[in-house]
Structure 1
Amino acid sequence: MGGARLGVAGTQVQLAAGVPVLPKGLTARSWIVADAESGEVLAAHDAHWRLAPASTMKMLFADTVLPTLPSAERHKVVPADLAGIGDGSSMVGIKEGATYSVRDLWLGVFLRSGNDAVHVLSSMNGGLGKTVADMNAHAQDLQALDTHVVTPDGYDAPGQLSSAYDLTLFARSGLQKKDFRTYCSTVRATFPGETEKGDEGGKGGDSFEIQNTNRLLAGDTDVPVYQGIAGVKNGNTTNAGATFTGVAERDGHVLLVTVMHPQEDEHNEVYKEAAKLLDWGFTADGKVTPVGELVPPKGAAPASAQPGANPSGQAGGDGARSPQPDAAGRPVRSGGVGIALGVAGGVLALLAAGAYLVNRRWPLPDLMRRRPRG
């Protein structure tokens, strides 16, 4: 999916004059850097390797569930809402008997990666089972074929897998939604604390500040706020290691980067490698020949954009398919595979009638842009 080069193991890039080589010190098992609006994949490394996604799976959760729940709707938490949360989960601090707005809950999801907030929103969406089914169906609609959802919060579970390519599709789709853009770009917010007696509004005197755990957005001792960063989502579990998808804008270019499972065991390594790839991408965007594309959803794809089609006339068309992965889910190395170019045109404004309008680009309106403080 997205071109034959993306199904070949190892690093895929086609440099051109004036473009620096890829940054040194990249240790991630899988990564991808792409133009968020045109969908052109500038470079990738094992982009379709199916790996544990950790909380970056919450991007698909949000993209699936956000449209179904009005932000002002309020919900009083009952014990069943918090049942089944995995041991050691990240939590925002939701309390049984307290009442929260949908907006509060989404801030808990994006800023603190709260699995408790995910479970409450899933309950409001009809339950965990329905939410997982909805997410798997939406992944199929987005042509994210490397993804299988088992838990909506990204908590480690047998068979729960995604890829750098798919996580980038989720971010790109989510960023079309204004609320998604707002939540994922919020650095800090006030979250309701324990309710006082008789306080049904969930606004007791113990409200507290929460800060986004995306270090490129909020900064840390060894990671500065990245110039132009605007989200999206980070994750970390024992099984998955660190994962991260980010979006940033600079000089009219909007880039998406996904980094999965860095092998270097350094503090904030996933953010450091993501920043290196973004720096390279801003230099390379518009100058390198793309090695693939971010495909549009099924409902938006013209015939020329379907797998095996070759709208550009470049090598790799006429039914060429990406190699099947090996037993570990990693792409199989193969020599002489042609490049399937021809960006099929981004996805797409949703018409009032519910049909997609196919355009060349997928602009990100009123993207929340973050700059270094001071």
Structure 2
Amino acid sequence: MVSVCALLTAAPAALAEPNPSTACSYRSVPAPPVDTSERPPPGKAAPAPLPVPERPVGGTRLAECGDVLPDKAPALPKQLAAAAWLVADLDTGAVLAAHDPHGRHRPASTIKVLTALTALQELSPETSITATKDDTSRECTCVPLVTGGKYTVRQLVRAMLMKSGNDAAYALARTVGGHGGVEEGLRKMNALARSLGALDTRAATPNGLDAPGMSTSAYDMALIFRAAMRNAEFAEAVKTRQMVFPGQNGKPDVDVFNDNKLLANYAGALGGKTGFTDDAKHTYVGAASKNGRRLVTVVLFTPKQPVEAWQQGARLLDYGFAMKPDVKPVGQLVERAPGDDNAGTNRQAKPDGTADGIDPSAAPTAFGNVGGPLTAVAGVLGLMGLLLYLRKKKAKRARALAAR
């Protein structure tokens, strides 16, 4: 009984919030915002943080908060200032190295990778979209779109990924949402992210501007980018260096250039996406090919100094390419959400960005992280009950024999 009491006494302590000095600082939420962009509208509460899976997606080592490196790994590149980063094989999904891979941070414009993937799954590239005043009233960077102008999905996806057009992202999400508008578009984005296994990700805006509840992780962004690169339209868009965006309503055509500097400065670059907001700091996802291998890298929550985010990404690509192809990976980019046999389906999602139909193994137990201890307590109590029952049965039988 002493051991059972000890377990019962200790269990509630596991419900306490983790001590920031001993736990992963960004395990459940990003760093506090530095401005008012995430203040909920009057009368509305901020969404609760996404549940932290009891078992980390991609492997147990990916729960580590510091450097996650293979055995006998070479020294890391210098000038890595990002709070989280990851480098993985784009084809096999093997995670070669990482730092706080499931730490949650704001994606900034890298969320447009998810916006693009959702749009390309939901709409034909030739679908025509008429820009509304809401689309053209977005906080820029913008293409810019013209109210009443007609554009194809292909044109909007490319302008969004190349120039980071917030107006293009809004128009795409609105169209994906149909009668439900941008809110429904975001629901579909979050459902897709969760079906892929990106359980740290919640898109609160389609363009990456900060809003309550926005988050992703280095692991998730690599996962989403890998899925997007399997789409030929997306892969072509992120490697395109220049395009002529059509003028509308008497406006001249616009030359759109790709703002991803990796394309012009890294041999074998396949494309990527940059991002920045005051709260997210600088973010980056990109990929390159060398000697038959294709790698993807992600950099989150980094200042611009000592080097830019894309340059940190380039150093991580060099680091990954320097590893032997048969190096034992530290984790794996999964193909779908754990326990999900319906890969690629856009299932119903709840307003908080979570989706129905996900196997419980990918999410916390009913008791959060104390599920294990409470289950152990229940097991011990059950065993004690059985022993007491057997003891009573034995005593009853002895009394019956004595009465004969």
User: Structure 1: which amino acid aligns with 2:131?
Assistant: V
Alpha-carbon displacement from aligned partner over 1:191-227 (angstroms, at most 9, x marks no partner): 112423xxxxxxx5x112111111101x4xxxxx211
User: Is 1:37 the counterpart of 2:77 in the alignment?
Assistant: no
User: Is 1:244 the counterpart of 2:290 in the alignment?
Assistant: no
> Partner residue of 1:13?
69
> Partner residue of 2:105?
51
Task: Please report how far the alpha carbon of residue 287 of structure 1 lies from its aligned counterpart in structure 2 after TM superposition.
Answer: 4.3
> Partner residue of 2:162?
111
| TM-score (norm: length of structure 1) | 0.72
> Among 255, 270, 273, which residue is 1:209 paired with?
255
Alpha-carbon displacement from aligned partner over 1:102-122 (angstroms, at most 9, x marks no partner): 221111111111010011112
> Partner residue of 1:296?
335
Aligned positions of 1:1-374 closer than 5 A: 1-16=57-72, 20-82=74-136, 85=138, 87=139, 89-125=140-176, 126=178, 127-196=181-250, 206-217=252-263, 219=264, 225-263=265-303, 265-266=305-306, 269-298=308-337
Superposed CA RMSD in Å reads 2.5
- What fraction of aligned residue pairs are identical, expressed as a percent? 37
C-alpha contact 1:5 1:322 (8 A) present in aligned 2: no
SS in 1 for 2:83: strand
Which structure: greater helix fraction? Answer: 2
SS in 2 for 1:161: coil
C-alpha contact 2:159 2:165 (8 A) present in aligned 1: yes
SS in 1 for 2:194: helix
C-alpha contact 1:214 1:233 (8 A) present in aligned 2: yes
SS in 1 for 2:325: coil
Task: Please report how far the alpha carbon of residue 185 of structure 1 lies from its aligned counterpart in structure 2 after TM superposition.
Answer: 0.9
Q: Which runs of 5+ in 1 are unaligned?
A: 197-203, 220-224, 303-319, 325-374
Q: Which has the larger radius of gyration?
A: 2
Aligned residues: 289
Q: Distance in 2 between matches of 1:44 and 1:323?
A: 23
Shift >3 Å, 4+ stretches = 80-83, 298-302, 320-324
Q: Which runs of 5+ in 2 are unaligned?
A: 1-56, 342-360, 366-404
Task: Please report how far the alpha carbon of residue 297 of structure 1 lies from its aligned counterpart in structure 2 after TM superposition.
Answer: 1.0
C-alpha contact 1:188 1:211 (8 A) present in aligned 2: yes
Alpha-carbon displacement from aligned partner over 1:136-173 (angstroms, at most 9, x marks no partner): 11111011111112111111112100000000000000
Structure 2 vs 1, CA of residues 81 and 269 (structure 1 numbering), >3 Å: closer, same or farther? closer
C-alpha contact 1:28 1:262 (8 A) present in aligned 2: yes
Q: Distance in 2 between matches of 1:7 and 1:285?
A: 24
Task: Please report how far the alpha carbon of residue 58 of structure 1 lies from its aligned counterpart in structure 2 after TM superposition.
Answer: 0.7
C-alpha contact 2:112 2:207 (8 A) present in aligned 1: yes
Structure 2 vs 1, CA of residues 178 and 323 (structure 1 numbering), >3 Å: closer, same or farther? same
Task: Please report how far the alpha carbon of residue 323 of structure 1 lies from its aligned counterpart in structure 2 after TM superposition.
Answer: 11
| TM-score (norm: length of structure 2) | 0.67
Q: Distance in 2 between matches of 1:321 and 1:264?
A: 35
